[in-house]
Structure 1
């Protein structure tokens, strides 16, 4: 309120008086409140303490040194050209691939004839709305088209199991930790100048305790955690052994009437959906416990949304931050001591067992598993039964022609049967025309033998169209489609190359299915339990 009525000297003396009253730190506080430099306030304090007459001087209006941006009108545009994004800035600037610090920017501007200091560069950048920024992890890369639907599917399965009193657990392997005097991230209160002494390099000491592999099981409903600290390898056998220990010690007691178990896991690692040993070990666990074990894998690239990450592992990391993990006992005890205000309790134990790597699981072993792949993304969602499902082997002894009889099912093709018949008829006619034209060019003349004589095609035109639709629906691999039609994979490849351009010419787009199959028996089991539904055309 007083500043507009005071001249320069009076303002300076007033700020100096206020700074003296505030004592230590008063100069900085007054300078920030008055939006002037600390030097100006300090001059006012010095003038008051000196007591000279007259106190200070008064400049004429407009006097004093002008701001650098006012003296040099081209300074601000030149600075913005250096710090703005590359597509809007100067593509030939030598600072394009270097750190744009205020010192580097000041040096570059000075070299172009704009004399400026690093502090003035910082002031100008703040005036233009710039600030020091770090990278922000927001770009998730390629998103799966069914990602949101898969989260909803996992959520529905979890609600269904918890509503029935069955356990739902989230599993994963925490980051491997070096055991010994190694630096651990974070800070912890210590006497000043006495930090914990650790190694200068994080190289594993082969003669030391080795490493620790914490595998966690988080019970979503009970808000409890179980961590097995392994010392050998992070394998599927180790992961399932940890789940087995949890069930024997806690799960069977907390859920005495449970008949099912739902596991949510990442898409990769020792519990990944492509890991065959994971499925075989779970099948053995299902046979031991009598539980129907359902596994729902998180979409690729979304492991941070797995419940165990932010409800268990994050609290463990905070609990032992800034503390060297000098032994396995320290790790186990630190995990045990992890709690939260919401009531989280954690049990931890050491698993010194040895788990071999490189174990091969053959196709025959996988085919013998009592596994049922769900209709919705069966490669990521599946159930392992205590005993083999009777429907799994329905088609084992049937010839390929009999197995292929139900492949026109709307749930496989994604089209109603009338729509499929029209499409097959149109493309079959066109395929026969193109095939006849190609053979005529090879012969160099008209047909000599009657149509139908000679070797028969392995696939009719209608079957080539149907095989291509099933392949584009991504129901399974090319080898699976070949088994369904009783031909080799090369025949399916040729069929796809022939039919796919015709689909594009006719404006048909085949949408991928959410169901995935691995063997003809999986397809037969799927059809055996299919329900008549209203299927919209996928083309």
Structure 2
């Protein structure tokens, strides 16, 4: 003869719940346990707690849901907003620490919203833990994915031959920028945006227009050499998230580059930084502000003499210009703002650049520079010897300070 254990003994209740427990989710477990507790009457919550291990608080919550007839939204176990808060919500500084740590390691095409980093998620998680932000490598991957980072070190564009001190120079620039920003020293990132053809030429991108009414423009595969060109030289203020663009109409030379910086200082810099006695400039290793360009250094000396400012310069190694902040904090937004818009005249370019804004509050000032900047200017050895330059012990060709020899009122 077989004897069955009553379902309302502790053993029977445990067997009953154990049979279906793996088939239930968080809410249905809570409701089933609450229903059993109600059927047992006084002491039922404790009996069910011992039988299934669910907390008394959870069982009491289930009883409340049954009595009030609470039904969750379709497809949900918890009500909206319930559950444990994410790490970035419970500890907002975690996100700041992560972004600050990988900022100097960021790689990738700056005009793409996708960015790359070189460190592994485990390395990042370990460094965050040392900074008192314990987090798993899986959570790091999730956060970086939300920030539009891809955990790869693929090269989207050709960088040329890597200099052995390239990464060390990145770290040097990052340290110099952070130090100056902390001290209130103006830090600007400079570069010339690619030259633009003036006229009814095709400009990459699309705009909303009436159906089947596209603008008719010229291709610029073989433009007339006489077609005027614009040379937008940008100055991006890292501390204030603002841009200043000087649109040249002649040539992109070292004299034009420094004239653009001088224009920024006269129109904005000296007003924003009245107590400044130094400027830190981060610039590419080539072009009109190249580390080897004599005219660039000669014009910087003139600028220093006119303003009484010490001009500190840090160059990015050749082939790494896309890591210059101006590329992805100013130029990429200018390109996006005028996509699909033919640059018919200089005024159109100036207006489009000046209207460039971002969700993070970027503001851009733009002016047109019609002065002549002839090419072929030779700087003699004697002129170079008269430049008051102090070279850094680490790569003095990339990192140097040009000090004023005399203060001349501008």
Q: Which of the numbers 282, 285, 293 marks the counterpart of 1:264?
A: 282
Q: Using CA pairs below 8 Å that are at least 6 residues apart, which structure has the higher relative contact order?
A: 2
| CA offset digits 1:120-161 (Å, max 9, x no partner) | xxxxxxxxxxxxxxx973664432111111111111111121
Q: Which of the numbers 178, 196, 201 marks the counterpart of 2:215?
A: 196
Equivalent position of 2:307 in the other structure? 289
Shift of 1:173: 0.2
| Counterparts of 2:197 and 2:304, CA distance in 1 | 34
- Residue 155, structure 1, aligned to residue 174, structure 2: yes
| Counterparts of 1:139 and 1:354, CA distance in 2 | 34
| CA offset digits 1:331-381 (Å, max 9, x no partner) | 000000000000000000100000111011011111111001110000111
| Counterparts of 2:333 and 2:182, CA distance in 1 | 27
Equivalent position of 1:218 in the other structure? 236
Once the two structures are superposed, the pairs formed by residues 123-134 of structure 1 within 5 Å of their partners are: none
| CA offset digits 1:226-283 (Å, max 9, x no partner) | 0000000000110000000100110001100001100000000000011000000000
Equivalent position of 1:170 in the other structure? 189
Secondary structure of 1:228's counterpart equals strand
| Counterparts of 1:176 and 1:139, CA distance in 2 | 21
Unaligned runs of 5+ in 1: 1-134, 389-539
Equivalent position of 1:247 in the other structure? 265
Equivalent position of 2:368 in the other structure? 350
Equivalent position of 1:321 in the other structure? 339
Secondary structure of 2:203's counterpart equals coil
| Counterparts of 1:347 and 1:203, CA distance in 2 | 32
Secondary structure of 1:310's counterpart equals helix
Q: Which of the numbers 270, 283, 297 marks the counterpart of 1:279?
A: 297
Once the two structures are superposed, the pairs formed by residues 436-515 of structure 1 within 5 Å of their partners are: none
| CA offset digits 1:11-60 (Å, max 9, x no partner) | xxxxxxxxxxxxxxxxxxxxxxxxxxxxxxxxxxxxxxxxxxxxxxxxxx
| Counterparts of 1:139 and 1:235, CA distance in 2 | 25
Secondary structure of 2:264's counterpart equals helix
Number of residues of Structure 1 aligned to a counterpart in Structure 2:
253
| Counterparts of 2:230 and 2:344, CA distance in 1 | 11
| Counterparts of 1:211 and 1:324, CA distance in 2 | 13
Secondary structure of 1:246's counterpart equals helix
Shift of 1:201: 4.3
Shift of 1:203: 3.6
Secondary structure of 2:244's counterpart equals strand
- Residue 377, structure 1, aligned to residue 395, structure 2: yes
- Quick check: which has more Rg, 1 or 2? 1
- C-alpha contact (below 8 Å) 1:182/1:202 kept by paired residues: no
Secondary structure of 2:330's counterpart equals helix
Secondary structure of 2:365's counterpart equals strand
Distance 1:367 1:319, change over 3 A: same
RMSD of Structure 2 on Structure 1 (CA): 1.6
| Counterparts of 1:246 and 1:188, CA distance in 2 | 32
Give the alignment's TM-score, normalised by structure 1: 0.46
Equivalent position of 1:146 in the other structure? 165
Distance 1:281 1:313, change over 3 A: same
| Counterparts of 1:235 and 1:204, CA distance in 2 | 22
Once the two structures are superposed, the pairs formed by residues 98-109 of structure 1 within 5 Å of their partners are: none
Secondary structure of 2:191's counterpart equals strand
Equivalent position of 1:330 in the other structure? 348
Unaligned runs of 5+ in 2: 1-153
| Counterparts of 1:190 and 1:261, CA distance in 2 | 45
Distance 1:140 1:215, change over 3 A: closer
Shift of 1:294: 0.5
Equivalent position of 2:199 in the other structure? 180
